Amino acid sequence: MKRGILFIHGFTGNTTEVQPLVDYLMEKRSEWTCSVVTLTGHGEALNLKGVSSEHWFRDVENAYRLLEKQVDEVIVVGFSMGGLLALYLALRYRVKKLILLSTAAKFVDVKKLFLTCKELIKQRKQLTTAQARFLQAAINQTRHMTVPTMKHFLKVVHTVLPYLHRIHQPTMIIQGEKDGVVPKEAASFLYEQIQSVDKQMYFSKSGEHHICYSDDQNEWFERVFQFIIADKRNQNIMPDCN
């Protein structure tokens, strides 16, 4: 059986936010097809002028459809706003499993994201190349979180959250206990609202918002891998469109 995994980054972010997990899973199973979508207006250079939530919904739908043609099953991994977009797909398509990372189901604290960047800047001489790329992306994020752009982020929130009770796919939720951007209560909220009989939640003790760069990444990366390969009867579930 051919397995595909679709990764979705966060609001004003880019693919570096999920790349460590992509690399880990590809090292474990090189035969898997991993696709990392870049949302409209995002990437190495941010340009959100004229971009709306409808562009992002279309981006992930197109990426899902393209991947679905290549594989037998699709698992969707979403980080922050990408987690909400992953839920959006699960409501509309035959997503096999969901993996939600630091998903923005509660209010985002932009000020704390800025403070996290300042702390990393102080340690920049000790950063790896990957961490340095992530830092630059995070700095760009804070510059583009304006009122007009946040309006479109909130549109994603309001489109998805009222329908969490219709999510029945197996779901794994990963949240950092030190996340100052999305409160840890967001993970508990998702866990309670999602109606899957197969759902797991893991709190990273050292994890901040950009959870794929946490000190304990290998521990929960392995948990994610085991969740993906687990074979349970209740995983062939159609989306609830009622």
* Radius of gyration from C-alpha coordinates of the chain: 17
| Token pair recorded at residue 56 | 């992002």
Instruction: Count CB atoms within 10 A of the CB of residue 158.
Output: 11
CA distance linking residue 111 with residue 139, whole number of Å: 12
Find all residues with CB under 8 Å of 119, minimum gap 6, and list them. none
| Token pair recorded at residue 198 | 């197969």
Q: Are 16 and 133 in contact (CB under 8 A)?
A: yes
Q: Are 78 and 227 in contact (CB under 8 A)?
A: no
Residue 31 has pLDDT above 60, yes or no: yes
What distances in angstroms separate CA 136 from CA 8, 12, 88, 112, one per listed residue?
A: 19, 12, 29, 16
Q: Give 140-155 pLDDT, tens digit per residue.
A: 555 555 556 778 888 9
CA distance linking residue 55 with residue 50, whole number of Å: 10
Which domains can be identified in the chain, with CATH numbers?
Answer: 3-230 (3.40.50.1820)
Residue 27 has pLDDT above 80, yes or no: yes
Q: Give 152-198 pLDDT, tens digit per residue.
A: 888 999 999 999 999 999 999 999 998 878 888 999 999 999 999 99
